[in-house]
Amino acid sequence: MTTVLIADDSETILLLMRTRLELAGYEVETAADGQEVVDRIDPGSDQSPDLLLLDAMMPRKSGIDALRELRAAGVKTPALIVSAHQTPDDADAPADLEISGYLTKPIDFDALLAAIAELTAKKAA
Amino acid sequence: MIGVGRLIVQRQDYENAIERSYQREMAARVQLAEGTNPARARATIRREEANRAHLRDSISGDTRDTVILVGAGLIAGLLGALLLFVGLVTAMRRPLEALVAAAGRLAGGDRSARVEVGGVSEVATLGKAFNEMAAELELEASERDRLDRMKDEFVLTASHELRSPLTSVQGFAELLMMDRDSLTPRQVETVEIILDNCRHLVRLLNDLLDLARSDAGRLSIRPQPTRLGPLMEDVVRTMRAQTEASHQSLNERIDPDLPLVNVEADRIRQILLNLITNAHEYSPEGASIQLGARVADNAVVISVTDNGPGIPAAQLEHIFERFVRGDAGLTQRVGGTGLGLAISKSLVELHGGTISVVSEVGRGSTFTVVLPIAGPAAVEATPPGPPAISEAGRR
């Protein structure tokens, strides 16, 4: 079962994304900010989620900062960033963090689901 | 002056003395001619000749002395004046040079440029005034920077804040649509209307954000060598459903030899969609729209032509400004925001290109976009960022 970890500071958005992803057959974990994401992921264990879907802007710690910490700790999980901008600049989606793609809100779920399928199939294969 | 005056007096004395000498000689010659005391007469004549020779030498010497004196005086005066002048200029030059240099730095953006106040009093005053002006400018500039940063932060925050509830409204409406089989037709229609308006809101939000960023000079593009042919064909395919629904014809005439052009594909797509959507929305049923692309000089020239109602000259002038829309009476379904052309213009110009329009009421309009093949000037090759996960981003 492919697990996706979603992080967003809005409960409504988390509910929306959980509903859509579960309907598409994924298992979903949620986090409310970047710190929870970092706490949730243990670099050594193989119980980690198969994909990260992170909101760029969150209180306490942003998705970008959380990803930076995870990458520094050697976590290779593919990550998608939800950015506030139509076309992100380097602040939203830095090239050196191995971000597999970015989305803007409102989320195009057809495109998102297609991307998740592609990224997690690659991992399984 | 004194020397010259004295010389004049000396010459006068000399003339007088010469004259008296001649008179004495004359008298002696008369004596000689009369025969009275010839020896004495001759002696007088000889004495007067010698006298005059002596006087001539004397006056020559005096004249020469005076000329030398006057000459020396003039030269000394000139030298003195020269020295004074050079001294003054030097005293002024350094502070003036410093002032010019500081003004140059200030104009170049260095708000900390100041001068040391010194030199001749007027120059010192100038220096003080300059320093005061520079201090004022520095204050104003940092105030402006502060306001700019506030505006940018506001735009970013507002954009983020508005997008989240918008995501929820659209997302949950889409979820409803996934259950359309268990909805009544009226309910389905309701949800469709909600979704339509969500999309309109999203377009408006994106347009506003683009414009705000453009204002702040923060709208940027990442140009890559791009094949325009397939991109334009893709846009036409996207628009065809809508034009066909209005029985409009949409054709393309794209030069097969278009070179790779340094542009950001998504933004060119955005511009083309804007132009074709306008042609579609402002032209009546049965109209024809043509998209063309050809090479000219170091650029690709793209045109969108329609045979719709055309744009009156008064409106044409302002058509690339914000919130300017066409006559709503002629449109079938105006879904636009009035910002499309303003943004298209900003985007075209970011690419180093130009956008223009010619139109005739009753005949139609042609919008022309010229894009330099090399892309915008002074752009270093930026590596492409992570890909966009979206309808438009899918390649």
Give the per-residue pLDDT at B338. Answer: 75
Query: Which residues, 6+ apart, have CB-to-CB distance to B197 below 8 Å?
Result: none
Residue numbers in B near A17 (CB within 8 A) = 171
How many CB contacts within 8 angstroms connect chain A with chain B?
93
pLDDT tens, residue by residue, B342-367:
899 999 999 999 999 999 999 999 99
Q: How confident is the model at residue B329 (pLDDT cuts 50, 70, 90)?
A: very low
Q: What share of residues in chain A are helix, strand, coil (percent, to 5)?
A: 40, 20, 40
- A19, A90, A101 member nearest B388 (Cβ): A101
Nearest-CB residue to B386 (from A12, A16, A102) = A102
The tokens of B359 are what?
């139109």
Q: Which of B82-91, B183-192, B319-328 has the highest mean pLDDT?
A: B183-192
3-state helix, strand, coil in chain B (%, to 5): 65, 10, 25
Amino acid at B85: F
Q: What is the pLDDT of residues A70-87, one digit of tens each?
A: 999 888 899 999 876 655
- Predicted pLDDT of residue B65: 86
Q: Which residue has the higher pLDDT, B293 or B73?
A: B293
User: CA B245 to CA B242: how far, in whole Å?
Assistant: 5
pLDDT tens-digit readout, B1-12:
777 888 888 888
Radius of gyration (C-alpha) of chain A in whole angstroms = 13
Identify the closest residue of chain B to A10 by CA–CA distance: B164
Please give the structure tokens belonging to residue B117: 């106040």
Q: Taking a C-beta distance cutoff of 8 angstroms, is the pair B325, B336 a contact?
A: yes
Token look-up 């735009």 returns B155
Q: In the structure, what pLDDT confidence band is assigned to residue B174 with cuts at 50, 70 and 90?
A: very high
Query: Please, which residues have CB within 8 angstroms of residue B109's CB and are 6 or more apart in sequence?
Result: none
**B373 within 8 A of B300, measured Cβ to Cβ:** yes
Judge whether residue B381 has pLDDT over 70.
no
**Distance between CA atoms of A78 and B386, rounded to whole angstroms?**
12
Query: Mapping DSSP to helix (H, G, I), strand (E, B) and coil, where does residue B168 land?
Result: helix
For A93, other C-beta atoms within 10 Å of its C-beta total 23
Cβ <8 Å between B386 and A89: no
User: Which residues have C-beta within 8 Å of that of residue A33, sequence separation ≥ 6?
Assistant: A7, A9, A58, A59, A60, A61
Between B334 and A85, the higher pLDDT residue? A85
pLDDT in the model for residue B212 = 78
Question: What burial class does residue B392 get, using C-beta atoms within 10 Å of its C-beta: 0-12 exposed, 13-18 middle, 19+ buried?
Answer: middle
| Distance, CA of B233 to CA of B242 (rounded, Å) | 15
Most confident listed range (A75-89, A90-104, B97-111, B299-313): B299-313
Closest-CA distance, A45 to chain B, in angstroms, reads: 27
Q: Give the closest residue to A115 by CA, choosing from B393, B265, B178.
A: B393
**pTM passes above 0.95:** no
Contacts of B209 (CB under 8 A, 6+ apart): A85, A86, B155, B159
Q: Which domains does chain A have, with CATH numbers?
A: 3-79+87-106 (3.40.50.2300)
Are A95 and B390 in contact (CB < 8 Å)? no
User: Given CB atoms, is B217 within the 8 Å cutoff of chain A?
Assistant: no
Which letter does DSSP use for residue B365 in this model? Answer: E
Contact state of A111 with B198 under an 8 Å Cβ cutoff:
no
Q: What is the pLDDT of residues B15-40, one digit of tens each?
A: 998 899 899 889 888 888 888 888 88
Q: Does A113 touch chain B (CB under 8 A)?
A: no
Nearest chain B alpha carbon to A97: B386
A32 interface with B at CB cutoff 8 Å: no
In contact, B249 and B289? CB cutoff 8 Å = yes
pLDDT of B377 higher than 50: yes
Chain A contact set for B198 (CB, 8 A): 106
A117 touches chain B (CB under 8 A): no
**Average pLDDT of the residues of chain B:** 85
Handedness of CA B145, B148, B153, B156 (dihedral sign): negative
pLDDT at A87: 59
Q: State yes or no: pLDDT of B330 exceeds 50.
A: no
> Does the pLDDT at position B380 exceed 70?
no
Which of A80, A104, A119 should be substituted to probe chain B, the one whose Cβ sees the most B Cβ atoms within 10 Å? A104
User: Whats the size of chain A, residue-wise?
Assistant: 125
- CB of B159 within 8 Å of any CB in chain A? yes
Give the Cα separation of B187 and B180 in Å (integer).
Answer: 8
DSSP-derived 3-state class of residue B38: helix
Q: Chain A partners of B210 at a C-beta cutoff of 8 Å?
A: 86
| Closest CB to B385 among A57, A95, A104 | A95
Query: With bands split at pLDDT 50, 70 and 90, how would you rate the model's confidence at B86?
Result: confident
Q: Which two tokens mark B302?
A: 């793209």
DSSP-derived 3-state class of residue B121? helix
Cα separation, A114 vs A117, in Å, equals 5
Q: Which of chain A's residues have a Cβ under 8 Å away from the Cβ of B194?
A: none
* pLDDT at position B268: 95
- Contact residues, chain B, for A110 at CB < 8 Å: 391
B220 touches chain A (CB under 8 A): yes
Report DSSP letters for A41-56, one per residue. --SS-S-S-SEEEEES
